[in-house]
Amino acid sequence: MDKVYAASAFKKIGWLIVAVLLAVLIGALIGYGISGKGDPFTVFSPKTWDHILDFLR
Protein backbone atom coordinates (compact mmCIF):
# COMPACT_ATOMS: atom_id res chain seq x y z
CA MET A 1 0.00 0.00 0.00
CA ASP A 2 2.87 2.40 0.76
CA LYS A 3 4.36 1.89 -2.72
CA VAL A 4 1.08 2.89 -4.32
CA TYR A 5 0.93 6.03 -2.18
CA ALA A 6 4.56 6.93 -2.94
CA ALA A 7 4.04 6.39 -6.67
CA SER A 8 0.94 8.56 -6.60
CA ALA A 9 2.76 11.31 -4.70
CA PHE A 10 5.73 11.27 -7.10
CA LYS A 11 3.37 11.36 -10.07
CA LYS A 12 1.61 14.44 -8.66
CA ILE A 13 4.94 16.15 -7.94
CA GLY A 14 6.10 15.37 -11.48
CA TRP A 15 2.98 16.91 -12.98
CA LEU A 16 3.42 19.96 -10.75
CA ILE A 17 6.99 20.45 -11.97
CA VAL A 18 5.87 20.11 -15.60
CA ALA A 19 3.05 22.62 -15.03
CA VAL A 20 5.40 25.16 -13.39
CA LEU A 21 7.96 24.85 -16.20
CA LEU A 22 5.24 25.26 -18.80
CA ALA A 23 3.89 28.33 -17.01
CA VAL A 24 7.37 29.89 -16.87
CA LEU A 25 7.95 29.26 -20.59
CA ILE A 26 4.57 30.66 -21.59
CA GLY A 27 5.08 33.65 -19.28
CA ALA A 28 8.46 34.37 -20.85
CA LEU A 29 6.95 34.23 -24.33
CA ILE A 30 4.08 36.52 -23.40
CA GLY A 31 6.27 38.95 -21.46
CA TYR A 32 8.84 39.24 -24.21
CA GLY A 33 6.12 39.52 -26.85
CA ILE A 34 4.35 42.32 -24.99
CA SER A 35 7.58 44.29 -24.70
CA GLY A 36 7.34 44.85 -28.46
CA LYS A 37 10.81 43.62 -29.32
CA GLY A 38 9.62 41.45 -32.19
CA ASP A 39 9.42 37.67 -32.29
CA PRO A 40 8.48 36.26 -28.85
CA PHE A 41 10.57 33.13 -29.50
CA THR A 42 13.69 35.31 -29.38
CA VAL A 43 13.42 35.03 -25.60
CA PHE A 44 15.02 31.57 -25.88
CA SER A 45 18.11 32.91 -27.67
CA PRO A 46 21.34 32.77 -25.62
CA LYS A 47 22.14 36.30 -26.84
CA THR A 48 18.96 37.56 -25.19
CA TRP A 49 19.88 35.95 -21.86
CA ASP A 50 23.43 37.37 -22.06
CA HIS A 51 21.88 40.82 -22.45
CA ILE A 52 19.47 40.25 -19.53
CA LEU A 53 22.24 39.00 -17.23
CA ASP A 54 24.50 41.93 -18.21
CA PHE A 55 21.65 44.29 -17.36
CA LEU A 56 21.20 42.71 -13.93
CA ARG A 57 24.90 42.94 -13.02
Total structural domains in the chain? 1
Stated pTM of the model: 0.69
Q: Which residues constitute the domain of residue 48?
A: 2-56
Per-residue model confidence as pLDDT tens digits over 10-45: 999 999 999 999 999 999 899 888 887 778 888 888
Q: How far is CA 7 from CA 15, 16, 18, in A?
A: 12, 14, 16
Phi, psi dihedral angles at 9 (to 5 degrees): -65, -45
* pLDDT the model gives residue 50: 92
| Spatial separation of the C-alpha atoms in residues 25 and 43, rounded to whole Å | 9
* pLDDT the model gives residue 42: 85
| Spatial separation of the C-alpha atoms in residues 57 and 47, rounded to whole Å | 16
Lowest mean pLDDT among 1-5, 48-52, 53-57: 1-5
